[in-house]
Amino acid sequence: MIFRLDERLLFPDPDLADPDGLLAVGGDLSANRLILAYQNGIFPWYSDETPILWYAPHERCVIFPPEIKISKSTKQILRSDKFSITVNQCFEKVIAACSSVERKDQDGTWITDEMMAAYIQLHQLGQAHSIEVWFDGNLVGGLYGVQTGNVFCGESMFSLMNNASKIALIYLCSMGFAMIDCQMHTPHLESMGARMISRQEYMEVLQKSVA
| CATH number of the domain bearing residue 183 | 3.40.630.70
Residues 34 and 79 both lie in one domain: no
Residue 64 has pLDDT above 90, yes or no: yes
Residues 19 and 35 both lie in one domain: yes
Average per-residue pLDDT in the chain?
94
Residues 173 and 70 both lie in one domain: yes
Confidence band for 104, pLDDT divided at 50, 70 and 90 = low
Residues 116 and 51 both lie in one domain: no
Residues 31 and 12 both lie in one domain: yes
Residues 90 and 146 both lie in one domain: yes
Domain limit, last residue, from 41, 58, 75: 58
Residue 123 has pLDDT above 60, yes or no: yes
Question: Which of 31-40, 60-69, 202-211 has the lowest average pLDDT?
Answer: 202-211
Residue 18 has pLDDT above 80, yes or no: yes
pLDDT of residue 103: 57
Residues 31 and 70 both lie in one domain: no
Residue 14 has pLDDT above 70, yes or no: yes
CATH number where 19 lies: 3.30.70.3550
Q: Averaged over 126-155, what is the pLDDT? A: 97
Q: How many domains does the chain have?
A: 2
Residues 106 and 193 both lie in one domain: yes
Q: What is the pLDDT of residues 165-208, one digit of tens each?
A: 999 999 999 999 999 999 889 999 999 999 999 999 999 999 99
pLDDT of residue 105: 47
Residue 27 structural domain: 3-58
Residues 71 and 40 both lie in one domain: no
The three state secondary structure string of the chain is CCEEECCCCCCCCHHHCCCCCEEEEECCCCHHHHHHHHHCCCEECCCCCCCCEEECCCEEEEECHHHCCCCHHHHHHHHHCCCEEEECCCHHHHHHHHHHCCCCCCCCCCCCHHHHHHHHHHHHCCCEEEEEEEECCEEEEEEEEEEECCEEEEEEEEECCCCHHHHHHHHHCCCCCCEEEEECCCHHHHHCCCEEEEHHHHHHHHHHHHC
Indicate whether this model's pTM tops 0.85: yes
pLDDT of residue 48: 85
pLDDT of residue 107: 44
Residues 44 and 83 both lie in one domain: no
Residues 157 and 76 both lie in one domain: yes
Residues 51 and 122 both lie in one domain: no
pLDDT of residue 102: 67
Amino acid identity at 180: I
